Amino acid sequence: MLVLEVIHSLYALIGVSANLILLTTILKTRSSGLKSYALIIANVACVDITEIILDAFEVPRYTVLIKPAPSSLTVQIVMIILFLPNALPMSTHSSSL
């Protein structure tokens, strides 16, 4: 298990470093023709960095599980509750077409 944690940490370090280099390059380059692409790439790099940082909290979860996994019904209810704020604008937009 220790080998997998080391490999996981190495990939995380490489991922954060590469994305920080990418963000630095984007911020230093001020080409007007590629400004929209630079914005998209910067957004993806920020999301990648956030995902890598959040993924670091997930690794110890596999080694120490104190509580059992939630039931399937509980997961479905939580997903529906989280989806409801997005469903209302989608339903009003589709009915106005």
Q: What integer pLDDT is reported at residue 84 of this predicted model?
A: 77
Q: What integer pLDDT is reported at residue 77 of this predicted model?
A: 92
Q: How high is the mean pLDDT in each 10-residue block of the chain (97 residues)?
A: 77 89 85 77 88 75 64 89 73 56
DSSP per-residue codes, 30-72: --STTHHHHHHHHHHHHHHHHHHHHHHTTHHHHH---SPPPPH
Q: What integer pLDDT is reported at residue 73 of this predicted model?
A: 93
CA 21/CA 19 separation, integer angstroms: 5
Structure tokens that stand for 31 in this block: 């080409």
Q: What integer pLDDT is reported at residue 21 of this predicted model?
A: 92
